[in-house]
Copies of this chain bind each other. A is one copy, B any other.
Amino acid sequence: MSRGSPCAAARRSGAVACLQCEVREISLCGELPENDLSELQSLVRHKEMQPGTPIFEEGDEARYVYNVSSGTIRLYKLLPNGRRQITGFLYPGDFLGLAARDIYSYGAEAVTELRLCQFGVRELEGLFERFPAMRARLFAIAKDELAAAQDQMLLLGRKTPIEKVSSFLLRRLKDARRFDPESDRIFLPMSRNDIADYLGLTIETVSRTFTRLKNDGVINLPDSHNVRIPDDEKLSELAEES
């Protein structure tokens, strides 16, 4: 491995300086004062990867945490016979790497082309000592994830296929509207298989449910990864959201 200047290394990997980072404000890094961003910069390592690439696997020692710069990640758990449950999808700005007892309890893979910021947990701990607000933010992230996990348990245990798919689309729509409040379109970077493993269904049931929503006029499907939602009220009813 050649060792150039950090700056050159960053340029080589297509890295963006933290100050210019598009997702900084919505990520953990947004908690750090701009003046101290250089501290982050010296800790971060930029990663780029292709669809399907594993980031880490269940059981791995949890040495790093990550922030998603661009692209989509799936988190998953496996049963011995190969059945898979996707426990979550991550999008730009999302944090990755919380682990109990320093062992990842889930695997993580790139769904799309992906850009990540990698931090060593030890080094980050040093930063937390000096900037307690970052630790507080991470704790808040953990609590948000826990609430999301509980929502997903409700979905998996007690919702029908229609309700599951509607809930999934509605969540994606709400995410899209954080950036564009007028948006009625969502892009689904993941396959039907991924959606099925996320919702506790089979790929066929997912496909049929999309078709049914389309035929009922609740959604448009320009193609299998793009959805237009003309009437989010109707979708909300179908999702059984309170």
Chain A interfacial positions (CB closer than 8 Å to B): 75, 77, 79-81, 83-85, 87, 98-101, 105-106, 138-140, 142-147, 149-154, 156-159, 197, 199-200, 240, 242
In whole angstroms, what is the CA distance A77 to B241 when docked? 12
By beta carbon, the residue of chain B nearest A105 is: B147
Of the candidates B79, B80, B99, B143, the one whose C-beta lies within 8 Å of that of A100 is B143
**Nearest opposing residue in chain B for A237, CB measure:** B80
Nearest-CB residue, chain B, relative to A62: B143
Residues on the B chain within 8 Å of A99, using CB: 143, 147
Whether A77 contacts B240 by the Cβ 8 Å rule is: no
Given A100-B147, A139-B142, A147-B105, verify A200-B158 contact (CB < 8 Å).
yes
A156 touches B200 (CB 8 A): yes
Which residues does chain B contribute within 8 Å of A79, judged by CB atoms? 154, 158-159, 240, 242
B80, B100, B149: which contacts A153 (Cβ < 8 A)? Answer: B149
Tell me whether chain A's interface is mostly helix, strand or loop, or mixed: helix
In Å, the complex CA distance between A159 and B78 comes to 11
In the complex, the answer to whether B157 meets A199 with C-beta atoms within 8 Å is yes
Alpha-carbon separation in the docked complex, A115 to B99 (Å):
31
A83–B149 touching, CB < 8 Å = no
Roughly how many angstroms separate A145 CA and B139 CA in the complex, as a whole number? 13
What separation, in Å, do the CA atoms of A200 and B150 have in the docked complex? 13
Distance (Å) between the CB of A109 and the closest chain B CB? 15
Most chain B CB within 10 A, of A83, A143, A151, A197, is at A143
Is the beta-carbon distance between B149 and A85 smaller than 8 angstroms? no
